[in-house]
Amino acid sequence: MTVLQAQMKKPLTKTRLIGFAALGVCAIGYTGMGLALLAGKLDYLDMTHAALLAAAAALIGEIGLWVGAGCLGLTLFKKRKAMLDKLFGRKPRPSEV
């Protein structure tokens, strides 16, 4: 590993870890939705039950999507805010130290 690669490696903070885990839940939820609909189409399940199962899985996927986007977006916001504070010479608040 070169010095440049070591400097570019981002630490996995708690917020980023939650964000990536939530995106994994999102992928699992939407995959479950697709599989439930496929099971309904192939007559492994009654289409009514397949649609209910797909709706529940889609809700889980949607929750994962929003939580993941929120957590990962928050990390980008904090990084940009710190960069702007440094650029304008502002002191960080005591809660951010």
Q: What is the tens place of the pLDDT at every residue in 19-52?
A: 999 999 999 999 999 999 999 999 999 999 999 9
Q: What is the tens place of the pLDDT at every residue in 44-53?
A: 999 999 999 9
Record the pTM: 0.70
How big is the CA angle at 13 (ends 20 and 92), to the nearest 5 degrees? 130
Residue for token digits 């010095």? 3
| Segments in 1-97 forming alpha helices (H) | 3-8, 14-41, 47-88
* DSSP annotation of 95: G
Mean pLDDT of the chain: 86
Give the closest residue to 40 by CA, choosing from 31, 49, 28, 32. Answer: 49
Q: What is the tens place of the pLDDT at every residue in 51-83?
A: 999 999 999 999 999 999 998 888 777 777 777
